[in-house]
Amino acid sequence: MQQFSCRTVADLAVPGLMTGRLTVLALHGDADSATELESALRAPAPSQLVLDLSGLVRLSPAAAQALCRFAEVAAAHGRMLLIASCPAEVAAALARARPPGRTVCALQPTVSDALSVCLAAAATPGGPHLRPHAVQMRHELLAHALVGRAQGVLTERYGLRTADRAAGLLRCVGRAHGVGTVRLAAALVQAPPSRTGRPWFPGRVRLPAPAVGFVSATVDRPPSLAAFLNGLRDAVCAITSTGMADVQLIDASDNTLWLESSCGLPTEFVDFFAVIDDTTTACGHAARKCERVVVEDVATAPDFDEASRAVLLAAHSRSLQCTPIPGPAGRPQGMVSTHHDQPGHAYTGAELGALDQVAREAGVWLDWYRTTTVRDALEELHHRAQQA
């Protein structure tokens, strides 16, 4: 039996929600005691709750009934309780505990989906002007959730005494390898479990960084991810003769696009499009279709919802293109977009060919980065955690 634990991943004020607060809790281990579970759920002040159950191994019938009772009481007081990343056996236990004909626990596929429901509820009363705040808040919550889950993995897998120790390891190892804490946390959560006495990534061969034409690097020191993405951004600007561009990377766990580099675009644009999780933008359509999207006039194109359109027009983006960065199995792993301040910008065949070329080079380099630099960091994290 794995010891039950409940960790607060995020607890933030969110204007627009009935309670004014949103709390994300991550449950781990074996939830056998109804009393212990109820105590963990009552610990936060009155708040909308998102429960990340990805680390929950078992939910006893008594604990499942306690969770359903808590959800009923919360709903009666205008509080949402959303359950995310629920393992099949836990979902089955909840289904058995649910009163006949009633839905008391809303199940969401991922934490990302649950946060989207909460923030949509927060943004609706105030209209589109709250959307940038909601998007930025969601960006921060997703980062908190990833780091929290990674801390839980480290704490349980290696028997670390505190979550603070796990957080310190993530920061220290990430800094040593030039990998951001959130990126390292995401890689740890998505990687298969390491096995004692065996290589974590069997058959792994360390290869030198592939050469790319738009970033200079020495043999001993490849560029950091940030420098690489900035170089890619500048390259597509030069190809299309514009000063406005952005580069996004896709989080494979939930297919969200994260804005990693931009130029010539105002803070409002960067905050609003910090993370994209739907198809109400051209880059979302391009990612879903795995092909380039060209928008001749932002003002009239059907590719955007009205809030996104307003932010683009305020940034003087009247026409744009979004080119996918190729990834494994034919799925894109990112997007490069360029913007122009006049509608009807015509891209030449040479420009589109050059965009495809740098996107292919970027895809090869990002594959190398994921299988080399990030895995180097994961293996050092494994080594240090064993000694902690």
pLDDT in tens, 258-294: 899 999 999 989 988 888 866 689 999 999 999 999 9
Confidence of residue 54 (pLDDT cuts 50, 70, 90): confident
Which residues 6+ apart lie within 8 Å of 199 measured at CB?
Answer: none
CATH 3.40.50.2300 for domain 5-125: no
Range in 1-5, 153-157, 200-204, 208-212 with the lowest mean pLDDT: 1-5
Using a 10 angstrom Cβ sphere, with 0-12 exposed, 13-18 middle and 19 or more buried, the burial of residue 355 is buried
pLDDT at 306: 83
Confidence of residue 136 (pLDDT cuts 50, 70, 90): low
How does DSSP classify residue 80? -
Buried (b) or exposed (e) across 11-21, using 16+ Cβ within 10 A?
Answer: eeebebbebeb
Radius of gyration of the chain, Cα coordinates, nearest whole angstrom:
23
For residues 370-377, average pLDDT: 91
Which strand ranges, in their side-by-side order, compose the sheet holding 256-263?
A: 275-276, 256-263, 244-251, 332-340, 319-326, 293-295
Return the higher-pLDDT residue of 324 and 153: 324
Confidence of residue 101 (pLDDT cuts 50, 70, 90): low
pLDDT at 128: 46
Return the higher-pLDDT residue of 315 and 135: 315
For residues 57-64, average pLDDT: 91
Query: Are the beta carbons of 52 and 25 closer than 8 angstroms?
Result: yes
The CATH architecture assigned to 225-371 reads: 2-Layer Sandwich (3.30)
Return the higher-pLDDT residue of 195 and 185: 185
pLDDT at 127: 44
pLDDT at 216: 76
> Is residue 35 pLDDT above 80, yes or no?
yes
CATH 3.30.450.40 placement within the chain:
225-371
Which residues 6+ apart lie within 8 Å of 9 measured at CB?
Answer: 24, 25, 26, 52, 144, 145, 147, 148, 149
> Is residue 123 pLDDT above 60, yes or no?
no
Closest CA to 128 of 21, 240, 268: 268
Query: Are the beta carbons of 319 and 347 closer than 8 angstroms?
Result: no
> Is residue 367 pLDDT above 90, yes or no?
yes
In this structure, which long-range contacts are made by residues 7-11, counting pairs with CB atoms below 8 Å and at least 24 apart in sequence?
Answer: 7/148, 7/151, 7/152, 7/163, 8/43, 8/44, 9/52, 9/144, 9/145, 9/147, 9/148, 9/149, 10/140, 10/141, 10/144, 10/145, 10/148, 11/44, 11/47
pLDDT in tens, 193-247: 887 777 788 888 888 889 888 887 665 678 889 999 999 999 999 999 999 999 9
CATH 3.30.750.24 placement within the chain:
5-125
Q: What is the pTM of this model?
A: 0.69
Return the higher-pLDDT residue of 128 and 212: 212
Mean pLDDT of the chain: 85
pLDDT at 129: 45
